[in-house]
Amino acid sequence: MAPSHVLRCCQRGLAWIPVIFIALVVCWSYYAYVVELCIYTIPSTGEKIIYLVVFHLSFIMFVWSYWKTIFTRPANPSKEFCLPKAEKEQYEKEERPEAQQEILKRVASSLPLYTRTGAGAIRYCDRCQVIKPDRCHHCSACDMCVLKMDHHCPWVNNCVGFSNYKFFILFLAYSLIYCLFIAATVLQYFIKFWTLCRRKSAENCPKSDLPDSHAKFHVLFLFFVAAMFCISILSLFTYHLWLVGKNRSTIEAFRAPVFRNGPDKNGFSLGFTKNIAQVFGDQKKYWLLPVFTSQGDGLTFPTRLVASDPEQPTVVLHPDTQSKSAEDGSIQQSSPLSESQNRLLDNHVHTNEDQGNALKSDESETITISMESES
Ligand SMILES: [Zn+2]
Ligand SMILES: [Zn+2]
């Protein structure tokens, strides 16, 4: 096996360490809560049953959404965004970036693209050899272009993007509920054990009504760990709820997407209700379940800029292009272009021609954002 191959395998293995760490903490929290707290510590049967039922509900939802976030493959650009064979050969032979841009513009004229690089060039990934759809970015950790990429999350060892963004939000929500529930129910036993600990150090202390066993250690730690995770998840969760409301990805919050009128951080925002429906779907009964209900195909996104353009009255939003194909990672079909969209792109191509120094590719598009605030 080539050394580079071995290195890559090692990197892939090491990338699972944060996930294994979280899984071990979750397994321990389950044991500590169910066995040490509910079975050994809580004296009342009624209290035990209520705690166990609510705990298991939040545990199942948390594990389900975490699982879906980890194992949903990121969605990649469809074949339509690859250069056709002739153009690809031409592109590879060509050394001048301006001529390469001309080839890209020719291919892009039949694609539903509204965003460009900062210099007004077609966004092209040299690594994947694909024209990047709107909101798509190359992830260096996954080594692929990811549709509506939000960020690469080391805690799930996966890219958070179009195919699993809803699962990621639910994972944050349910982990917050899980930790809050544990912290709230453990608190009274935490206080009792804590005072017991302190009294034990003094001589002739009165006996506590709690069993002085190894349960003490687990209950004390359970509270500390749950409270610590609560605080860190809460900030991240609030930030992502704000992003959903604005219809922005983390990458777009850092750098606004560039439309033909220039950068616009609100370019994809359709209003609060529609922004939420973009991620969660329009059927409220599925909002809280980690099943794929996001709107669209991940390749094209409605933009208020184009819809409100008086020259392009027929280019409207794509509310009906709901596709479930993203769930298994691959998008098969891009939505067909209307004539006006083609015209729009043609216009754009001409305006871009004047800009002369077109970029070969936007190298700064390769982004990995790690979530340091999560633990
Ligand atoms: Zn790429
Ligand atoms: Zn990634």
Residue 152 shares a structural domain with residue 185: no
Q: Does residue 89 sit in the same domain as residue 230?
A: no
63 and 120 co-located in one domain = no
* Whether pLDDT at 51 is above 70: yes
Rounded distance from Cα 192 to ligand 2 centre (Å): 45
Closest ligand to 149 CA?
2
- The pLDDT score that the predictor gives to residue 216 is 85
256 CA distance to ligand 2 middle (Å): 20
Q: Which residue has the higher pLDDT, 356 or 288?
A: 288
Supply 154's token pair: 């080391």
In tens, the pLDDT along 89-107 reads 999 998 898 999 999 999 9
Residue 86: CB atoms within 10 A of its CB come to 9
Residue 330 lies in a domain: yes
Instruction: Give residue 128 CA to ligand 1 midpoint distance, Å.
Output: 4
Residues 303 and 159 in one domain: yes
The more confidently predicted of residues 361 and 167 is 167
Q: Do the domain assignments include residue 254?
A: no
Predicted pLDDT at 217 = 87
Ligand lying closest to the C-alpha of residue 130: 1
Distance 145 CA to ligand 1 centre (A): 4
Angle at 21 between CA 27 and CA 139, to 5 degrees: 130
Q: Please tell me whether residues 287 and 229 are part of one structural domain.
A: no
Ligand 1 center to 144 CA (angstroms): 5
Catalytic residue check, 136: no
Amino acid 269: pLDDT? 94
Out of 128, 145, 153, 230, pick the active-site residue. 153
Whether residues 310 and 360 fall in one domain: yes
Look at residue 214 in the predicted model and tell me its pLDDT: 76
Span from the CA of 115 to the centroid of ligand 2 (angstroms) = 21
Please name which ligand lies nearest the alpha carbon of 157.
2
In a domain, 46, yes or no: yes
Q: Are 65 and 173 in a shared domain? A: yes
Rounded Cα gap, residues 263 and 118, in angstroms: 8
- Cα 361 to averaged position of ligand 1 atoms, centre (Å): 11
Q: Are residues 173 and 68 in the same domain?
A: yes
Could you give the CA distance from residue 307 to residue 257 in angstroms, rounded to a whole number? 17
What pLDDT was estimated at residue 192? 85
Q: Round to whole Å and give the CA distance between 294 and 304.
A: 18
Strand partners, 158: 153
Number of the ligand closest to the Cα of 366: 1
Domain endpoint, select from 216, 244, 272: 244
Q: Are residues 265 and 307 in the same domain?
A: yes
CA distance 136 to 65: 23
Tell whether 290 is covered by a domain: yes
CB neighbour list of residue 226: distance below 8 Å, 6 or more residues apart:
29, 179, 180, 182, 183, 186
**Nearest ligand, measured from the Cα of 125:** 1
What is the span of the domain harbouring residue 213?
18-74+167-244
- Does residue 7 form part of some domain? no
Residues 64 and 191 both lie in one domain: yes
Distance CA 159, CA 141 (A): 8
Same domain, 196 and 303: no
Q: How far is CA 13 from the centre of its chain?
A: 21
pLDDT at position 37 over 80? yes
233 Cα to the center of ligand 2, angstroms? 20
Could you give the number of structural domains in the chain?
2
Domain boundary among 217, 244, 271: 244
Q: Residue 321: what pLDDT?
A: 40
Is residue 183, in this structure, part of any structural domain at all? yes
Query: What separation in Å is there between the alpha carbon of 76 and the centre of ligand 2?
Result: 11
Higher confidence at residue 297 or residue 362?
297
If asked whether residues 338 and 350 sit together in one domain, one would say yes
pLDDT top residue among 359 and 92: 92
